Amino acid sequence: MLSFILASSLLLIDSCKKDNTVVTSSTPEELLTKSLWKMDEIRFSQVNTSGGGATYYYKHGVTGNVGSLDNASVLFAANNTGTFTLGTTVAPFTWEFTNAEKTKIQWVITYSPGNTLTVNWENVRLTGTTMNLGEYFTTSGGITSIGIATYIH
């Protein structure tokens, strides 16, 4: 009887061994540059130099948004360049991760020579289909913006 229990225990332990198949996951760079990111949702506040400002909310496909960001998208290329699209405006940019954990991204949009915008993203969480982040920037006209956003493929 003891040998039967011992043999059964060994069989049970052997059947519980983990599969040694290696699962590869995508790097943050691969997830970021996989394809076009479209604006899905954003909440942000903007303040101008005179102290005036407002808080905004946008959700793709919802009526009653303050403005349309339906055509807002970001395309990151593997060579640390990309294009930002907002409506009919398409502008090139350069980008880089600014921390070792690759949760912070800084990108500089060039609208024209001498007209650039540096955008900082923090707490970036990337999956195969979603990117969540916090965002802040200050325009050359003195508008400061801070918000949280979700982009989707």
Do the domain assignments include residue 5? Answer: no
| Kind and range of the H or E run holding 56 | strand 53-59
pLDDT at 19: 55
* Widest Cα–Cα separation across the chain: 87
Q: The domain spanning residue 107 has which CATH number?
A: 2.40.128
pLDDT by position in tens, the chain (length 153): 444 443 444 444 454 555 555 555 899 999 999 999 999 999 999 999 888 999 999 999 998 888 889 999 999 999 999 999 999 999 999 999 999 999 999 999 999 988 999 999 999 999 999 999 999 999 988 999 999 999 999
Rounded to whole angstroms, the Cα distance separating 148 from 153 reads 17
Rounded to whole angstroms, the Cα distance separating 121 from 44 reads 13
Q: Which residue range forms the structural domain that includes residue 88?
A: 28-152
pLDDT at 90: 97
pTM of the predicted protein model: 0.81
| Kind and range of the H or E run holding 93 | strand 89-97
Q: What is the dihedral of CA 33, 38, 42, 45, to 10 degrees?
A: 80
Do the domain assignments include residue 75? Answer: yes
Total count of domains within the chain: 1
Do the domain assignments include residue 84? Answer: yes
Do the domain assignments include residue 83? Answer: yes
